[in-house]
Structure formats: C-alpha cells, structure tokens
Amino acid sequence: MKKRYALKLAVVALASTMAAGAVWAQQTTLRVFVGPNQRPDLQAKLFEQYNKANPGVKVEIETGGATSELQRQYLSTVLNAKDSAIDLFLIDIVNPAQYASKGWIEPLDKYVGGPAALRNDYLPVYQNANVIGGKVYAMPSQGDAMFMYYRKDLLTKHGVAEPKTWDELAAAAKKIMAAENTPNLQGLSIQGAPIEGAVCTFLLPYWGQGKQFNDAAGKLTLDKAAAVKGLQSWLGMVDQGVIKKNVAEVTTPVTVNEFKAGQAVFAINWGFAFDRFKDDADSKVKGNVGVMPLPAMTGGKSATCMGGWQWAMNAYGKNKDAAGKLIQFLSSKEASAFIAREGSILPVFQSVYSDPAVNRAVPWFKDALPVVLGAQSRPMVEDYGQVSDIIRTTTSAVLARTKTPEAGVDEIAARVGRLMR
C-alpha cells in the first residue's frame, strides 16, 4: 500500500514537473529597450502587469544611453547589424520615417488595425508621425512637449504677471533678479549644448514669429531673416544677463538641476521635468512651480516643441506576434493613463487629459491640452538624424559665439536644404 502511494506521489510529481517544464519551454521572452529618460521604472511596472496576465510571455527590460542621441546611436548600431536581440524599443517622434526608410522597423497594421487605430483619440501630431506610406510603423506611448516653468513664489512676491512675449519675460526676469540680488539666480535657463534640445532652442523663437520650417511634403521653407532674429533674441538675453554666458554648455539635465536648486526664475524643459521639481528629495522649489505656454516673439504667436516616444518593433526580431500583442497593451489608453498618473508624463490620448484620476494626480494636465494641441514637431523626415546634427551643432556654435547668427543660418539653410528638398 505504501509502495503504491509512494509510486502515485512520484507519478504526480513527475507530471507536475513535466507540465512546468512544458510551460517553461513554451514561454516566449521579449527584450525591450527603454532609455533612462523614458521612465524605465514605470515601464517595468507595466511589464510586470503584462507578465502576470500572460504567463507564457516574459518581458525583460534593457536600458542605456544617457541622452536621446546616445540611444539613437545604440539602436542604429543594433539595427544596422540586423540584430534580433531586441524585440521592441521606444523611438522619438521624429524617428519613424527615418527608421521605416531603412527597413529597421516592422509595419504594425497586422497588430493594431491600420492607420484608423491612430485616429481613435490619439493626439493629431502622433497620427502624422507614425503613419508612413499608408502603413503604421510605430504606436504612441509617452507624450512630451516643451513648457515654460517659472517660480510662482518669486513672480507673486514681485508682482509680476506671466509674460506673454520674450521681451516681457526678459523684463520680468531682470526685475526679479535685481530685487532678489542673489548671485546664483539666473533669469532663464535654456538648452544650448549640441543636444537634441538645441533643435527646439533654434525653432522656438522662429515658430514664435509664425514661421514654418518645412512644408507638408518635408521641403525646407526656412525664412532666413526670421531665423537670424530668433538666434539674436537668445544672444540679446545673454547680453542682458538674463541667460548665463556659458549657455552653449547647458544640457537638459543642467536646466532641470538649475531650476530644481532654485537658481532660475524661468526654465524651458520637457514635461517630464515637472515631476522632478515636485518630488525629488533635493528640490528647493516644491510647491512653487508654475507652468505656462512659451512666450511669443513680439507680434507673433506662442509655439512649443512637441516630443514623445513611440513603440516600434524590430524588423529583424524573431517574436513578432508576441511583440505585436505587447505593443497593443503598451499603446493602450489604460497604459497612457497609468504613466500619466504615476509619472506626470503627458498622455498621448486627448481624453486622458480630462480623466478625473489623472487630474487629481497631476492637476496642471487639465491646462496642458491646448498647449499640446498647438505644439509643432521637429521635421519628420527620413534624414532627420543628419538634420538634427546640423541644427543642434550650429545653434550651439552661435550661442558660444564661434559663429554669427547670420553665418549659422546660412549654414543651416545650405546643408539642411540639400536634405529637405
């Protein structure tokens, strides 16, 4: 009897082991690349949710590249080599056309239902960015846009209203700086180093004059006089002491840290920065951060730079069906709302901006939608990597005063003109 019972237990144990082994053998592992500025901590929580609901799939996260430029270089290396190690990755709003033209990313129509899926409540700029040649090549995940952050306490203390133009901002900053008389306090922190943010530094005062950089077909339409005026406006604020002299060395993290340390009255940065100002343990501006649209040039209109990250599938991957199902989950309204609530990341769906739970967690989002709807994108062209390199390095050189605004604009017009024609 004991022998039969022991044998029965052994059979049950063997069956359980075999079943577990079968499940393990059938399990698909998906590797996903997420940059450090794309909130891998929140993505990991979403992956955990997906793993629990889909026991046959294991999602592993890979992260790296401190800046968007380094992330782009890494992905270019992997994809040029036709490496299948990464299944999914996040790319900038300006990259789908470039990656699709090189055959690096898989069309997603089979998994998401075609271009019609992007017309379902997604912000219009993401609809335009992710459909190339009538096919969907990426799905929106995280929204982003540049905002003007300001010290509410200082503007209130000195009776200064939110400035509507760059001239008003310079005057407001000088008034506050003079009254505070604090050596480390600067008026405005902007990104002037040769990084992706410097592309927006070039475009903001240009767009703020009501000008367009390119037409709908991607052809350069640069108004050189307006571009020179925009660059001169930054240099004018340097000369007035509103922007610091070594602005050509300022990166995105520097602007975050300067404002967080209470060393700037105004700062231009992406939407993600609000959470850093609000929650970081070393923030000295908690409870005193205001957010407003970017000022316009005198006689122009407010304009801001749209960003955001899109999920794309490796065209050389070996787990495309499983990766396609994961993209459906990661680009859902529920995922967008989760990231918005937990990380103050701008939603990619219009309706999420009025979601009560999101508004309770991030009150300023309810005022962000008009700004986001009016935001403009950097050129979404196949050669964007080269276009970006030209604009950001030239803009930084002008801010470092190694080139004049006129020479810088001539160089951008000539070199970018050959790529966008």
Rg (CA), the chain: 24
Read off the pTM. 0.85
Q: Which domain holds residue 47?
A: 24-144+307-376
Looking at per-residue pLDDT, the higher value among 137 and 371 belongs to 137
Q: 164 and 261 in one domain?
A: yes
pLDDT digits (tens, 9 = 90+) for 60-77: 999 988 777 788 889 999
Task: State the pLDDT at residue 18.
Answer: 38
- Describe the chain by its helix, strand, coil percentages, rounded to 5: 50, 15, 30
Q: How far apart are CA 382 and CA 97, in angstroms?
A: 5
Q: 164 and 123 in one domain?
A: no
pLDDT at 195 over 90: yes
Task: State the pLDDT at residue 19.
Answer: 39
Q: 291 and 151 in one domain?
A: yes
Per-residue tokens: 278 = 């609000």
Strand partners, 143: 308, 346
Task: State the pLDDT at residue 156.
Answer: 98
Q: Is 16 among the domain residues?
A: no
Q: Is 17 among the domain residues?
A: no
pLDDT digits (tens, 9 = 90+) for 244-300: 999 999 999 999 999 999 999 999 999 889 888 988 999 999 999 999 989 999 899
pLDDT digits (tens, 9 = 90+) for 350-369: 999 999 999 999 988 887 88
Task: State the pLDDT at residue 13.
Answer: 38
User: Cβ–Cβ contacts within 10 Å for residue 216, how many?
Assistant: 7
- Return phi, psi of residue 329, to 5°: -70, -45
Q: 384 and 372 in one domain?
A: no
Q: 190 and 139 in one domain?
A: no
3-state per-residue secondary structure call for 301-323: CCCCEEEEEEEEEECCCCCHHHH
Q: 256 and 182 in one domain?
A: yes
Query: In the chain, how many domains are there?
Result: 2
Q: Is 7 among the domain residues?
A: no
Q: 196 and 159 in one domain?
A: yes
Q: 248 and 227 in one domain?
A: yes
Which runs of E-coded beta strand occur in 153-228? Answer: 186-189
Q: Is 12 among the domain residues?
A: no
Q: How far apart are CA 227 and CA 166, in angstroms?
A: 15
pLDDT digits (tens, 9 = 90+) for 222-253: 999 999 999 999 999 999 999 999 999 999 99
CATH number, position 354: 3.40.190.10
Q: 195 and 268 in one domain?
A: yes
pLDDT at 2 over 50: no
By the 10 Å C-beta count (0-12 exposed, 13-18 middle, 19+ buried), 120 is classed as: exposed
pLDDT digits (tens, 9 = 90+) for 3-56: 433 333 333 333 333 334 444 447 899 999 999 888 999 999 999 999 999 999
Q: Is 6 among the domain residues?
A: no
Q: Is 350 among the domain residues?
A: yes
Task: State the pLDDT at residue 65.
Answer: 85
Domain end point (choices 345, 360, 376)? 376
Q: 366 and 292 in one domain?
A: no
Look at residues 142, 163, 134, 141 and name the one whose alpha carbon lies nearest to residue 151: 163
Q: 245 and 149 in one domain?
A: yes
Total number of residues shown for the chain: 421
pLDDT at 330 over 50: yes
